[in-house]
C-alpha cells in the first residue's frame, strides 16, 4: 500500500499515529527532503531529494512499527514505511511543477503572501520525482518478492 499526502496522514492515523495541523504552517512548492533511513528499495541511493509539497497538516507521531525515512525542516515524519507492505510520503511525486504552480496560484487569495512568494520562488527548483517514482516501483517489486 502506498499513501501520498492525505494518504500518508490517513495511514498514520489508522495505524495508531497522530496527525496535527503543522505548527509551522503551510508547506507549499518544492521542498528539500532529507533521507534519514534507508531501505534496499531506495535505489538510486540519495541523501536528499527535492519534492513537491501542498499541505498544512503533518504526522506528529508515527504508528508503532513504522520507520521514518524522510524529514524536512518543518516535518520530522515526512515519509515512513512499515515492513515491506506500507510506504507513505507527505509529498507529491505524482505532481508536475505546472500543476503545483496552479495550486499555489489558486491559494494566493487565501494564504499569507509570504507563503505564496516562497512557494513561487521554490518552484525554480525541479523536484526529483523520477527518483522517487523509481523507489515506489522498487518498493512494490520487493513487496511482491516477499509474498
Question: Model confidence over 31-52: pLDDT tens digits?
Answer: 999 999 999 999 999 999 999 9
For the chain, the structural domain boundaries read: 2-146
Burial 31-66 (b: 16+ CB within 10 A, else e): bebebbeebebbeeeeeebbbbbbbebbbbebbeeb
| E-only strand ranges, 1-85 | 2-4, 18-21, 27-35, 48-55, 57-61, 67-71, 79-82
Average model confidence (pLDDT) for the chain?
A: 96
Cell, residue 83 = 515492513
Rounded to whole angstroms, the Cα distance separating 118 from 92 reads: 18
Rounded to an integer, the average pLDDT of 8-18 is 98
Look up residue 112 and give its three cell numbers.
499569507
| Interatomic CA distance for residues 49 and 36, integer angstroms | 11
Helix (H, G, I), strand (E, B) or coil at 13: helix
| C-alpha span between 66 and 45 (Å, rounded) | 20
pLDDT of residue 118: 97
Rounded percentage of the chain residues whose pLDDT exceeds 70: 99
| pLDDT for 147 | 61
DSSP-assigned beta bridge partners for residue 33 = 49
Pairwise CA distance, residues 54 & 29, whole Å? 7
Domain over 2-146 is classified CATH 3.40.50.2300: no
Using CA atoms, how far apart are residues 87 and 109, in angstroms rounded to an integer? 34
**Paired sense of beta strands 2-4 and 86-89, if any:** parallel
> What are the φ/ψ torsions at residue 2 (nearest 5 degrees)?
-130, 130
SS3 33: strand
84-117 per-position pLDDT tens digit = 999 999 999 999 999 999 999 999 999 999 999 9
Amino acid at each position: 500500500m502506498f499513501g501520498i499526502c492525505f494518504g500518508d496522514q490517513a495511514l498514520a492515523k489508522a495505524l495508531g499515529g497522530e496527525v496535527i495541523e503543522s505548527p509551522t504552517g503551510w508547506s507549499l512548492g518544492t521542498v528539500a527532503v532529507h533521507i534519514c533511513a534507508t531501505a534496499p528499495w531506495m535505489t538510486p541511493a540519495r541523501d536528499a531529494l527535492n519534492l513537491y509539497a501542498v499541505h498544512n497538516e503533518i504526522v506528529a507521531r508515527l504508528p508503532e512499527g513504522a520507520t521514518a525515512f524522510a524529514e524536512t525542516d518543518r516535518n520530522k515524519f515526512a515519509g515512513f514505511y512499515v515492513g515491506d507492505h506500507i510506504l507513505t510520503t507527505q509529498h507529491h511525486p505524482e505532481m508536475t511543477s505546472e500543476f503545483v504552480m496552479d495550486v499555489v496560484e489558486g491559494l494566493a487569495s487565501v494564504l499569507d503572501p509570504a507563503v505564496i512568494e516562497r512557494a513561487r520562488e521554490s518552484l525554480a527548483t525541479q523536484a526529483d520525482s523520477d527518483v522517487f517514482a523509481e523507489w515506489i516501483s522498487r518498493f512494490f517489486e520487493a513487496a511482491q518478492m516477499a509474498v
